[in-house]
Structure 1
Amino acid sequence: MSNNIWWGEFTFDESHEKKCWSVGQRAVLIKRKASEWNIWNIESEEEDQDIVVSAGEDFELESDAVIGRFLEKASSDKIKVLPKLADRSVIARPSSPLTILAGEKVQLFISTPIWFYAETFPSAKCLVDLPFWRPSDSWFGSSTIDGQLCYAKYTSAKTKVEELDLHPHRATTSIMVINSHDKELIINRINVPVNYLHLYSDDKYQLWTSGITIERNNESADIELIIERSVSVEFQPLTAISSPRETSEHGKLIRRISNLFG
């Protein structure tokens, strides 16, 4: 199964059967036994290839790649696999600074890494929750006290849908930035709270998140970030895949501008 729907319910017909989800040399293998699940995490340099579901014949089950044995009285014959967004904010760093002139609004498209998540079915007990490629850790904020621990990832910030370079192991977020201030807004980095966003798939199984609107409108150090309930109609039709890892009241987040833009 290549670049098709690699998530959903997967049946293990018999004990000791294994399945593999791979992107090039990067792979996660899951093996069913009578009363346990074994999982291997085989890492590699990041590759831009399709996600392939197979029996894993091309991968050796090295002992140092084992990440766990998960025990239960009797293993079920199914697991559920989902793509998920990162478990904390991702700092996107465009290839060059972005300047939004006073009184202007711009739609940006930012891509962020996807996590591979698998759970028992139907009991919904987590077996594995890890990124295809883990971004580096980064502190984002005005000081060592005022800020948060995030992931950092270089990414291009596109302004047109047709310019997007889509990847099966990344999701795209539409961000509307409204600069209602009388001064220009310069963006070197942007804090994308993907852990608060819904994840969707289009009919080609590319992944999209719910949209974000950010407006800077006065001299306040705080800025309101609105998490949209859906995705822009230009990307429809979409199918909901996974829920946010965290929720916010009324779909709003208040951030210091220094903790949102850098």
Structure 2
Amino acid sequence: MVGGILFSAPRDKIRSVGERAILIKRKATEWNTWNVESIAVESQGAEDDILVTDGTSIVLESDMVTGRFLEKVTLGKIKVSPLLADRTMIARPSSPLTILAGEKIQLFISTPVWFYAELLPSNKCLVDLPFWRPSDSWFGSSTIDGQLCYAKYTSAKTNLEELDLHPHRATTAIMVHNRHNKALTINRINVPVNYLNLYSDDKNQLWTSSISIKIEGESADVELIIDKHFLSEFEPQTLISRPRISSEHGKLIRRISHLFG
């Protein structure tokens, strides 16, 4: 079963992380939404929990409305759930990583999650916003061959015990098999989070599907496998949301220049 928070909405509802808040207000024939962002950097408020309250403590001006969604009659149920980004995410380690020839290394990369709210029973999207929006970036071998992504800096941990977990970010475990006879240096890695499931463990920490990447010989193509199983130490309990883009066989073939930089 896909997880999420289901609530009736006779009054205003607000989700907040630190000084960042998303407010939803129901009227008779329309929904109003606000995206309040009083701090701009991810590091501030990063330790705060995601809070759910009514909107009575926040004073908002009418000209601050970021969304007006009209219906003939609004119903009182909304489903809210975290969702992974709508583009792939470029992770930039704080320093280059070199995987020696023949080695297999696991990396842990965290990425910000989106706030997703849909109306029930119609399943119409009402809000689809990041708690913290990464910067836009281009990834590819040239200005023509590539794709528009999001970008963030990360330490790219190699040990589970070193993970710095936050309620508004999800962690992806990436196993890189360097079967080439040369070392592989990673300055950037393109993580296809929009193809991954999102899970929650028994401590309410967010995890994504695991990924395995295999680099074979001189081939320009790389096999990327979205794993269906997890390492035992992860133990995610609940499926929270499904991928924005489905991969029928759980396998993607990518040019190496579209995965590593």
Q: TM-score over 0.5 for the alignment?
A: yes
Q: 2:5 aligns with which of 8, 29, 35?
A: 8
Gaps of at least 5 residues in structure 1 are: 1-5
The structure-2 alpha-carbon separation of the partners of 1:62 and 1:24, relative to structure 1 and needing over 3 Å to count, comes to farther
Q: 2:12 aligns with which of 1, 18, 27?
A: 18
User: In the alignment, is the contact (CA less than 8 A) between 2:199 and 2:236 conserved in 1?
Assistant: no
Q: CA deviation at 1:70?
A: 1.2
Secondary structure in 2 aligned to 1:76?
coil
Judge which range, 57-66 or 200-209, deviates more. Answer: 57-66
Letter paired with 1:11 = S
**Does structure 1 residue 33 correspond to structure 2 residue 27?**
yes
- Figure out how many residues of one structure are paired with residues of the other and give that number: 254
TM-score using structure 2 length: 0.94
Distance 1:105 1:216 in 2: 10
Distance 1:64 1:139 in 2: 34
Secondary structure in 1 aligned to 2:66?
strand
Q: CA deviation at 1:256?
A: 1.1
Gaps of at least 5 residues in structure 2 are: none
Q: CA deviation at 1:7?
A: 4.2
Distance 2:65 2:148 in 1: 28
Aligned match of 2:64:
65
Secondary structure in 2 aligned to 1:162?
helix
Distance 1:238 1:110 in 2: 20
User: In the alignment, is the contact (CA less than 8 A) between 1:171 and 1:208 conserved in 2?
Assistant: yes
Judge which range, 129-138 or 51-60, deviates more. Answer: 51-60
RMSD: 1.4
Secondary structure in 1 aligned to 2:194?
helix
Aligned match of 2:210:
211
Aligned match of 1:177:
176
Aligned match of 1:149:
148
Letter paired with 2:207 = W
Secondary structure in 2 aligned to 1:238?
strand
Percent of aligned pairs sharing the same letter: 71
Distance 1:204 1:249 in 2: 30
TM-score using structure 1 length: 0.93
Runs of 4+ in 1 over 4 A off after TM superposition: none
Q: CA deviation at 1:232?
A: 2.5
